[in-house]
Amino acid sequence: MDLVGSRFSLLLTIEILTLTVYVFCILLNVICGSKFSQRDTIFSAVVFVVCCVILVATVVLACRARTTTRITQVKLAS
């Protein structure tokens, strides 16, 4: 599975947009004066961390796929 090309760009864009919209919604609720319970705060923190982990995992997998592709191309050229 090659995530280096357009698929990687699509996944990265979707993940960044999702994280941005989520943070924007939380900030909008805070600005509007919504009160958050402790459970709401914990849930928001967990969702934020999970989104960040998925984002980092996507970048790491893409880098590994790109490195593997380059190594394979170098070996075939030899």
Burial class (CB in 10 A: 0-12, 13-18, 19+), 29: middle
Checking if the pLDDT of 22 tops 80, the result is yes
Mean pLDDT, range 19-24, rounded to an integer? 91
Mean pLDDT, range 2-18, rounded to an integer? 76
- Whole-prediction pTM value? 0.66
Checking if the pLDDT of 46 tops 60, the result is yes
Distance between CA atoms of residues 78 and 61, nearest Å:
26
Least confident of 14-18, 28-32, 59-63: 59-63
Mean pLDDT, range 24-43, rounded to an integer? 91
